[in-house]
A = this chain, B = another copy of it.
Amino acid sequence: MKKTAKIPYAAIERLALYSRPLKVLLKTGVTVVSSEKLAEYCGVNPAQVRKDLAYFGEFGVRGVGYDVNDLLREIQSILATDREWTLCIIGVGNLGHAIVENDNFREMGYRFVAAFDKDQEKISKRLPCGLLIESVERLRDVVRLRNIQIGVITTPPDEAQRVTDLLVDAGIKGILNFSPTQVKAPKSCVVENVDFAVRFEHLAYHLSKVPLK
């Protein structure tokens, strides 16, 4: 594999996808898996699986397949989920609550160490996970003090850019924005806009092409 081949954006996302069945196989006691099986579990082409993995190294054994445990560790190392990340959430509404309380994220190494809101009713309340909701006015200080790397935005869309600017100003390195607007930040801060309502719209589009009987 050419050393500096450009890695498709989609390949990274598929890597994450591959890790899901690997975890299940590991628990089930299966030790080896082929690109064909893995592809089947994830609904992709086997050559795609092999090529995606080949961007990062040679993890398989010809004629045999991939060692489940090894491959999972390799993928986690590539995706940097083998380490701890410190995060904060801004906007503790229904979605923010769901994300912060999700055990899965903790297991993946995402540790929420702060939660901010601007609603006086919510500030100073404690979440089930133990996290205290703080005023968004404290954001800058708290981000610096607790060395927070990633900010997750779950405010309404009209507040999202303002919150982004606050986060950037506080020196945050990455942002996940769940509000349905594209926020912008300087190159020093990596932004991922996650508008998952588009998936509803995508489904509706497909259903509208299909006779609904």
What's the nearest-Cβ distance from chain B to residue A18, in Å? 11
Asked if B43 and A198 sit within 8 Å, CB to CB, the answer is no
Let me know if B203 and A78 touch, CB within 8 A.
no
- Residue in contact with A108 in the complex, picked from B93, B192, B201, B202, CB distance below 8 Å: B201
Taking A98-B94, A173-B207 as contacts, is the C-beta distance between A196 and B195 under 8 angstroms? Answer: no
Chain A window 85-125, contacts with chain B (Cβ cutoff 8 Å), 1 for yes, 0 for no: 10000000111011001101100111000000000000000
The answer on a CB contact under 8 Å between A201 and B20 is no
- Check B13 against A198 for contact (C-beta < 8 Å): yes
* Minimum C-beta distance from A89 to chain B (A): 12
When distances are taken between beta carbons in the complex, the residues of chain B under 8 Å from A202 are: 12-13, 16, 79, 192
By a beta-carbon cutoff of 8 Å, the part of chain A in contact with chain B is 12-13, 15-17, 20-21, 24, 41-43, 78-81, 83, 85, 93-95, 97-98, 101-102, 104-105, 108-110, 149-150, 157, 173-174, 176, 180-182, 184, 190, 192-208, 210, 212-213
